[in-house]
């Protein structure tokens, strides 16, 4: 006869394995970006850093991922012989079609995020939240939650800045700023600041 402790232990190990290893693999699907984007090359060429491609409109709203017209300024013809640049020219620029990027940081409709409040008002550098994305030479794999349709990159906490920023990191930073007294506008750490 098996010991109840042995059965419990084996059950716990099996459930842990399923919960931590198997379930996440089933929950998320992986996709590559339409074009393997090299941030390092673009950051080196850009004259205004990140804002050369990811700037602000006159009303203070963030432009987000640049449209194909921004790419067209430099990529009127194939500069290198790589397959990604050929695809960029032939499939998107010549056809005047925006690249269907998978957006790692797309938030639910119930969430409001203001880049202007963080970059222009709080004077945070892009790297504070996005890590050293400007030094990446390839696009990381996009992992989408099969149930919600959102990226794996927006939930939980990051262990390393290079992974970008997740919602719990936002709460931690706002709480830290409140305690240090360095918040640009005090009292801006409540849930309803971002959640509609």
Domain ranges of the chain: 39-65+101-193
User: What is the mean pLDDT for each group of 10 consecutive residues in the chain (196 residues)?
Assistant: 83 86 85 93 82 83 88 79 86 94 86 83 83 87 90 66 66 75 54 68
From residue 43, how far is each of 40, 70, 101, 153, 182 by CA, in Å? 5, 14, 19, 22, 30
pLDDT for the residue 85 = 87
Both structure tokens of 60: 């203070």
pLDDT for the residue 61 = 82
What count of Cα atoms within 13 Å lies in the side-chain half-sphere of residue 14? 6
Distance CA 31, CA 54 (A): 23
Closest C-alpha among 84, 105, 103 to residue 158: 105
Both structure tokens of 195: 């959640």
DSSP strand E in 1-49: where? 28-31
Is residue 72 classed as helix, strand or coil in its secondary structure? Answer: helix
**Main-chain dihedrals φ then ψ at residue 159, nearest 5 degrees:** -95, -25
């Amino acid at each position: 006869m098996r010991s109840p402790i042995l059965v419990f232990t084996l059950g716990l190990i099996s459930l842990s394995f399923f919960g931590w290893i198997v379930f996440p693999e089933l929950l998320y699907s992986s996709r590559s970006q339409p074009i393997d984007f090299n941030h390092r090359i673009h950051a080196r060429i850009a004259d205004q850093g990140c804002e050369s491609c990811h700037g602000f409109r006159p009303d203070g709203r963030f432009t987000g991922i640049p449209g194909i017209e921004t790419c067209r300024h430099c990529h009127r013809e194939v500069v290198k012989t790589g397959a990604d640049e050929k695809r960029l020219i032939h499939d998107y620029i010549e056809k005047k079609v925006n690249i269907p990027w998978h957006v790692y940081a797309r938030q639910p409709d119930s969430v409001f995020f203001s880049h202007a409040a963080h970059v222009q008002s709080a004077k945070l550098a892009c790297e504070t939240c996005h890590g050293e994305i400007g030094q990446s030479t390839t696009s990381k794999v996009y992992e989408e939650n099969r149930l919600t349709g959102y990226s794996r990159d927006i939930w939980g906490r990051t262990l390393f800045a290079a992974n970008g920023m997740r919602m719990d990191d936002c709460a931690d930073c706002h709480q830290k700023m409140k305690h240090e007294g360095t918040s640009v506008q005090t009292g801006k750490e409540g849930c309803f600041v971002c959640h509609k």
